[in-house]
Amino acid sequence: MRRARHAGHAGGGRGLAGWPLLGLLLSVAMLVSPLVLDIASRVAAQAAITSMAAGSVARDDPGLLACLAQAQAYNAALGGYEEPGVDRVLPYTEQLRFGGDEAMAWVEVPKAAIRLPVYHGTSEEVLGSGAGHLEGSSLPVGGATSHCVITAHSGMPTSSAFDEIRRLEEGDEFYVHTLGRTYAYRVYGVEVVLPEEVSTLGLQEGRDLCTLVTCTPYGVNDHRLLVHGERVEVPVEDATVEVTPVEPTALVNVRTVPVVALMVVGAAMAIARRRRRNRGGGPPRHLVRMGDGRARRPRRPVRERSGVACRQMVLAERSVGRHFSPR
Longest Cα separation, the chain: 113
* 106 in Cβ contact with 48 (< 8 Å): yes
Question: How would residue 7 be classed by pLDDT, with cut points 50, 70 and 90?
Answer: very low
What mean pLDDT is predicted for residues 128-141? Answer: 95
| pTM of the predicted model as reported, rounded to 2 decimal places | 0.65
Closest to 103 (Cα-Cα) out of 148, 143, 44? 44
Dihedral, 16, 18, 19, 25 alpha carbons, nearest 10: -170
Q: What does residue 157 show for φ and ψ, rounded to 5 degrees?
A: -70, -20
CA angle centred on 92, ends 160 and 46, rounded to 5°? 30
Three-state DSSP at 189 gives: strand
What mean pLDDT is predicted for residues 1-26? Answer: 56
* pLDDT averaged over every residue in the chain: 76
- Higher local confidence (pLDDT), 1 or 195: 195
pLDDT score of 242: 42
Highest average pLDDT, of 14-23, 124-133, 268-277, 280-289, comes from 124-133
Tell me whether residue 200 is exposed, middle or buried, using C-beta atoms within 10 angstroms of its C-beta: 0 to 12, 13 to 18, 19 or more. middle
Q: At a CB cut-off of 8 Å and minimum separation 6, what does 148 contact?
A: 133, 137, 138, 139, 140, 176, 209, 210, 211
pLDDT score of 132: 96
Give percent helix, percent strand, percent coil of the chain, each to the nearest 5.
40, 20, 40
Distance CA 107, CA 133 (A): 11
What mean pLDDT is predicted for residues 21-46? Answer: 66
Distance CA 101, CA 71 (A): 16
Residue 282 predicted with pLDDT over 60 = no
Closest to 121 (Cα-Cα) out of 109, 134, 111, 110? 134
What mean pLDDT is predicted for residues 172-192? Answer: 95
Highest average pLDDT, of 176-180, 259-263, 279-283, comes from 176-180
Question: How would residue 279 be classed by pLDDT, with cut points 50, 70 and 90?
Answer: low
Q: Which residue segments constitute the domains of the chain, with CATH numbers given? A: 27-259 (2.40.260.10)
Q: What does residue 189 show for φ and ψ, rounded to 5 degrees?
A: -170, 145
- Higher local confidence (pLDDT), 42 or 17: 42
Residue 106 predicted with pLDDT over 50 = yes
* 23 in Cβ contact with 263 (< 8 Å): yes
Question: How would residue 224 be classed by pLDDT, with cut points 50, 70 and 90?
Answer: very high
Three-state DSSP at 172 gives: coil
Tell me whether residue 115 is exposed, middle or buried, using C-beta atoms within 10 angstroms of its C-beta: 0 to 12, 13 to 18, 19 or more. buried
Out of 116-120, 138-142, 151-155, pick the least confident: 151-155
Residue 264 predicted with pLDDT over 80 = no
pLDDT score of 140: 97
Question: How would residue 261 be classed by pLDDT, with cut points 50, 70 and 90?
Answer: low
The partner residues of 230 in beta bridges, in order of sequence, read 186, 209
Distance CA 159, CA 124 (A): 13
Q: What is the helix (H) or strand (E) element at residue 220, kind and residue range?
A: none
Question: How would residue 302 be classed by pLDDT, with cut points 50, 70 and 90?
Answer: very low
pLDDT tens-digit map of 55-67:
556 677 888 999 9
